[in-house]
Amino acid sequence: MRFFSGVSGNWLRATRSFIIGLALVPCLIFSSLYAQPGPTSHLPDLPEPGLAIVPAETFSLNFAWDSRYVSEGRDNLEDGGIASTTIDLHRPSPLPFIGEWYFSSWFAESIETPYIELNLSLGSSFSVGEVDVATGYTWLDFKGPNASDNEFDLQLGFGLFDQIDLFSAFIYSTEAKGTFIELVASTDIVRERFVLTPYILLGINRGYIPEEPETFNNLQFGLTATTTLFDEMEAAFYFAATTGLEEIFWTGVSVSFGSFPHALPQDPTRRQH
């Protein structure tokens, strides 16, 4: 992700928000206990950690629009939102200790600000007991000379109480020579044809944003509503808010086509940035 200067964090505000976030964790648990049982439907970026990886080839195409381009607690654009297209391909691995190989491309262009970004990712995923693991490499390219970066990531996902999904991501940037960590708790609430997924995300900067302190970076809250329109077509709407470096509220919509991978552990905010 591109590096932009952010507003210095306010310790008192961040601490207050962190306490509020901890208070919401029991709400996630309570809501999940009363969620209606039944089959769930996921976007490629909303898997169920703890499931065995399905050894089948899957392909999906996603079109999305976000009212703001937010990542690591920062608004990356001066003004306006961003439109993006994602292609995901998952193939079973012939190696016994690797469940899948995956390839992903993400192309985004700002609607109001001159900005273009391309991400190409390649990685593998496997299970260790109840924990799903994914490792990958991403090449990031931005409009302009010498505007590129390389990122290496490790992702872990597992289930808690059969309803709470826990996810963590560790992303190292060669340009910044630092790491960003995301810790996420989410749950799926099935309501007839809709799946509601509330989540809480805590971001930690460890040199990924060089100009900011190496500490808790931002606290993010969000809710995604997903529905299956046809057998191989899904639509989703989400809204999210973050506090820490900046106080931002934004929304987004997406439409996905294809056979959706549902066992690779990934950040539920990966394409919401």
pLDDT in tens, 86-131: 999 999 988 888 889 999 999 999 988 899 999 999 999 999 988 9
Separation CA 65–CA 43 (nearest Å): 15
Separation CA 90–CA 69 (nearest Å): 26
| 11-258 CATH fold | Porin (2.40.160)
Separation CA 246–CA 267 (nearest Å): 21
- Return the domain boundaries, the chain: 11-258
CA–CA distances in Å: residue 257 to residues 80, 109, 155, 235: 26, 20, 24, 9
Judged against a pLDDT cut of 90, whether residue 182 lies above it is answered with yes
Mean pLDDT of 5-19: 36
Q: Which residues contact 142 (CB under 8 A, 6 or more apart)?
A: 2, 115, 116, 117, 118, 148
Least confident segment among 35-49, 111-125, 226-240? 35-49
User: Which position has the token pair 């391309």?
Assistant: 118
Judged against a pLDDT cut of 70, whether residue 29 lies above it is answered with no
Q: What's the pTM?
A: 0.76
